[in-house]
Amino acid sequence: MKRAYRQFTERFIEGLLALSGTVTSLTVLLIVVFLFNEGLSLFGTSPLENKTALVVNESNPVQKLSAVSIKDIFDQKITNWKEVGGKDEDILIITVNDIGNYYSEEQIGAEFEHLPDCFSRLVDSLPNALAVINESYRTSYFKGHTIDVNKNNLPDFLSGKEWFPTAEPAVQLGVLPLILGTLMVSLLAILLALPIGLATAIYMAEIADERIRKVLKPVIELLAGIPSVVYGFFGLITIVPFIHDVFDLPVGETALAGSLVLAIMALPTIITVSEDAIRNTPRSMREASLALGANKWQTIQKVVLPYSMSGISAAAILGIGRAIGETMAVLMVTGNAAVMPKSILQPVRTIPATIAAELGEAPNGGVHYKALFALGCILFIITLIINIWVERISAKRKFKK
């Protein structure tokens, strides 16, 4: 009876563990599927928000415009139809706010019921007009033709240099500045944190006596539990003014400030994981190296570090993941400027900071909303590529041993 009960208990626990693993794996898979489903739905949609349409006179030969050209027109960088393939005429932009300049309140109507007809007549009378109207105004009797706008596509999304998801009438979704800003801040942070973290781990595992180690290890592990917003405040109060004064900059919120804050945040993880990996090196291997005549530093370099390389690689991966995915601290100290980064001493914006700052304001299901999910897809792919790359490097070194 006891044996049957024990077997039933063991099988029940095994079933629970299998169910837990299955549910966890399915949850992660569904999250990834949801992320890419929302992000990829951006492509093939129009960059015009709020059911907006661009209408011109029937005689206007322009049939298609890009989102960039539309922005340049509304920014007065393009002022003549000839610049976009039309006639040699100045572009006259007409919006709902301008209709009162051409028609009286009586003609428009108390409830704006005659507004579509007013737009129709106005576009028909002005050969150089570019009217921004609601799609519902495009009735069967509306005079003028609608300009087609290039759909959102992946090449333009990745290579675009302007990120203005709230621009009107056409949003600008160029993520290249965000990708470069993310890589610049994160990789510089790892370049700073990894050597320092590895050196500290070697000291704690191989050099420091037990009393020092018992003090240092809890302190370092405690640093990993500090909220990221606290690191952000620390960077804003100390690192940002320091960079501002040392480099004599207009503002101290720069990519360098973000990298320093992220390096500090990644250090506890790198140190703890690396130190545990180094201490797991078998004592017999150390003793064999010393017995062959190697000194302590040669043993660390030729025996301990190669043996613990897989653990050190894991520390690097966790540190990179912490750096790339960090949001609040980076948002507070990098200046949050979506511009092409040319130097570590200028403000930048990262992908996680952009998602955190804008997702709450993006209309559900709109172009801006989908673009932010597409940014999440890019962040996922960047992290995955870096993790695979680090794992391959680790595997090559392990094979060479």
Residues 16 and 116 in one domain: no
Higher pLDDT, 139 or 309: 309
- Tens digit of each residue's pLDDT (9 = 90 or more) over 247-283: 999 989 999 999 999 999 999 989 988 998 898 888 8
Residue 168 within a domain: no
Residues 127 and 240 in one domain: no
Residues 187 and 102 in one domain: no
Please give the C-alpha separations between residue 153 and each of 39, 40, 68, 174, in angstroms, as whole numbers.
12, 10, 13, 11
Residues 271 and 315 in one domain: yes
Residues 343 and 363 in one domain: yes
Residues 330 and 262 in one domain: yes
Q: The CATH number of the domain where 90 resides is what?
A: 3.40.190.10
- Tens digit of each residue's pLDDT (9 = 90 or more) over 186-198: 989 999 999 999 9
- Provide the domain limits for residue 83: 52-152
Categorize the per-residue pLDDT at 199 as very low, low, confident or very high, splitting at 50, 70 and 90.
very high
- Tens digit of each residue's pLDDT (9 = 90 or more) over 360-401: 888 888 899 999 999 999 999 988 888 787 777 666 555 455
- Please give the span between the terminal C-alpha atoms of the chain, in angstroms, as a whole number: 53
Name the pTM for this structure: 0.87
- Tens digit of each residue's pLDDT (9 = 90 or more) over 278-299: 988 888 888 888 888 888 888 8
In this predicted structure, what is the pLDDT of residue 393? 66
Residue 21 within a domain: yes
Q: The CATH number of the domain where 280 resides is what?
A: 1.10.3720.10
Radius of gyration of the chain (CA): 30
Residue 342 neighbours by CB distance under 10 Å: 10
- Tens digit of each residue's pLDDT (9 = 90 or more) over 129-183: 999 988 888 877 788 889 999 999 999 999 999 999 988 889 999 999 999 999 9
When divided into structural domains, the chain yields a total of: 3
In this predicted structure, what is the pLDDT of residue 297? 86
